[in-house]
Structure 1
Amino acid sequence: MTFSELGLRAELLRAVEAQGYTTPTPIQRQAIPAVLEGGDLLASAQTGTGKTAGFTLPMLQRLADGPRPGKRQVRALVLTPTRELAAQVGESVADYGRHLTLKSHVIFGGVGQQPQVDAIRSGLDVLVATPGRLLDLHQQKHVDLSCVEILVLDEADRMLDMGFIHDIRKVLRLLPEKRQNLLFSATFSDEIQALAGKLLDNPEKIEVARRNTTAETVDQAIYRVDRDKKRDLLAHLITRHGWDQVLVFTRTKHGANRLAEQLSKQDIPAMAIHGNKSQSARTRALSAFKSGELQVLVATDIAARGLDISELPHVVNFELPNVAEDYVHRIGRTGRAGSEGQAVSLVCVDEHGLLKGIERLIKRDLEKRIEPGFEPDPNARPEPIENGRGRGGQRNGGQRRQGGATRGQPGESRSDTETRAPRRRRSRARRA
């Protein structure tokens, strides 16, 4: 099947061809016709499967084909959980819509709002936004959502994990009751099913991969190692195997900073990205990583959400995530579009319970390796895992207080600034 067989306009086909794509992916083959029909959609696909084009292309076509209001209004709203994903979706909208007369813009926190306000004031057809900044601008009466015809919730599972459900409900109250709703998620969790039941009207359901599966093209391995030898083992593996582009995950922002500094001291160029970094710093780090100038990018789960790096060869879990589903999201950044990738996890005695939860989720035992010179102490005793994500592995068979991680401890948070704040400061943190 080709894109032309999906019923897309000539202007969109030209844009797709300019991007170098000729054959639609499975999610695109199913989602594009479904969205063009005008009904609601609930779709699940692993990262890297082309789902952004799966909703962007038919969304643009429906807007181009539909009647135009006298004054240019926001007719399509795409909500994403993070700045990086918003920027990625915004870029796709601009690329695919370059031959149409539609206007689009992206808004998110962490940067000045005046350019965003100016863009909205001049008139938009498509608005891509993170929930916090969108609500802030609406409260300031800069955004009118009364003419929205299409609502897209992208990475809806992550938005729920980050605590955006209340913001989503606030946004829904600002939209017309009659509209097309498209919900895209990496998984069909119980929470997603509950949200879909309230949001969607008799939706078409698309699932292109078995729930919580990992790509077959990803070589997954576990290296058992003592907690205090992880950094040296990581540096050893990178150097010995000549890994030239490595995305490394840590649980916390402080841990990401520390690891990046330590690797740089060992002549391995590394930088960290997380919510406490400015947007410009995050953009610079990602650009250097994509270009090959930066060998290692160290990231927290939320900061890495939406990173679009083609043919990324290596993902390393320096620390296992407390939520087993996050393992699937992390390693989904390698082995994309049929290319091969490698996912390595450095696991100490503290994380054996987390590893069992991951293996239960993906329904397979991962290969265990021991690197000579880094043999773990067989008598080592587990210690509490501090500063884990607030949910503490509550889902997927994990223990709520796994390794001592509780909701009140420092870790990743709900806002697109990733700053956990007391209730009285939460609105200010969201605007940051």
Structure 2
Amino acid sequence: MFQKILIANRGEIALRVLRACKELGIQTVVVHSTADADAMHVRLADESVCIGPPPSRDSYLNIHQIVAACEITGADAVHPGYGFLSENAKFADILAAHNITFIGPSGDHIRIMGDKIEAKRTAKRLGIPVVPGSDGAVTDQKEARRIAAEIGYPVIIKASAGGGGRGMKVALTEADLEIALQTASTEAGAAFGDDAVYIEKYLEKPRHIEVQVFGDGFGRGVHFGERDCSLQRRHQKVWEEAPSPALNAEERARIGGICAKAIADLGYSGAGTIEFLYENGEFYFIEMNTRLQVEHPVTEAITGIDLVHEQIRVASGGGLSVKQEDIKFNGHAIECRINAEDPRTFTPSPGTIPHFHTPGGLGIRVDSGVYSGYKIPPYYDSLIGKLIVHGRNRVECMMRLRRALDEFVVDGIKTTLPLFRDLVGNADIANGDYDIHWLEKYLAKED
């Protein structure tokens, strides 16, 4: 096991990892920008190192500074959390060159899954069902028209190196295709420094289903069930739950088994999430995230397994602590992402929080680094906390969520709490009857 882990992140995920390390008796080091000097994880860590000014490129994305912090403090491993450098293959390679363990997969696996075209090829080779579309990057209009005609309209153009909805355009007809291709390619080049795009069949009312997987790096893989992340705005997840209200036990076992086998065959090490669009009983691979997800707590709630503990164990060479038959699913869990944003316009709302009170009681968990008097800096992602609720079934879970949302107090700034108070009372949400377009349509009607 590791002696000292450096946590290369901030906010709630840094605190989440720190807690796991403390439970395992591992010393902790956190890095922080000058803007985060008073953050909760900085206060609680055994050691802290300031690595630069607020801009991420000068601090949390500064590989040289983070490696230097490891060497100064004697950290023998780095946990990257999510975001920032968590899916940066170069970072994983550099740490390995300095004999520091990256708590995550190999740089090669990060590279494969970070390229959307290569990820799709790999998924297909491993037996994972994929969305019909181009086999690689599409370079001209004639080729685009041929592929679109073969798979049928509507189609979606996606950035090969993309994410978060950037470099993504829908063409409903052939007349839309030329401008969609040009716009997606231009956006991809500007956002990611790579203008390569590919074409897929556009599914009109799919759900977003993701499967949590783990590999031990030695040919063994397991899955921890699925999460339903269909409530999204601009391709950003807002509300996640496990298990999905749309799947039955047979479908769950089928797609979970496919994913676990694929991870084993790949020789993958650590946590990963294989993401799908699901429509009319069929799963279609869209991407794999080679890191811990924001929404991992709902999986922990229904399995009773600490996924960060598992990450650390696997990275240290200890292998997986469980076999597939040991993983049982108990009840239902929902996570709401509490952001410092206007609940309707989603405009960021940084500032000081004079009063912060979290709900409690059976089945309630809040992951947040916020405290009364804390000042939300304007430089980073607006996520300030996650409310996770667990119940014996979805009905009980929804009832607890309603109560917990009523108890949650965040003063001084605007947050997305009012949105969730609306959603928990909506009939479609109560019935689990929604798809990836539902939330944006709901918000448009409210406006």
Do these two structures clear the TM 0.5 threshold for a shared fold by scoring above it?
Answer: no
Q: Normalization by structure 1: what TM-score?
A: 0.30
The structure that is helix-richer by fraction is 1
Q: Which has the higher contact order (CA 8 A, sep 6+)?
A: 1
Compute the TM-score of the two structures, normalised by the length of structure 2.
0.29
Which structure has more strand as a fraction of its residues?
A: 2
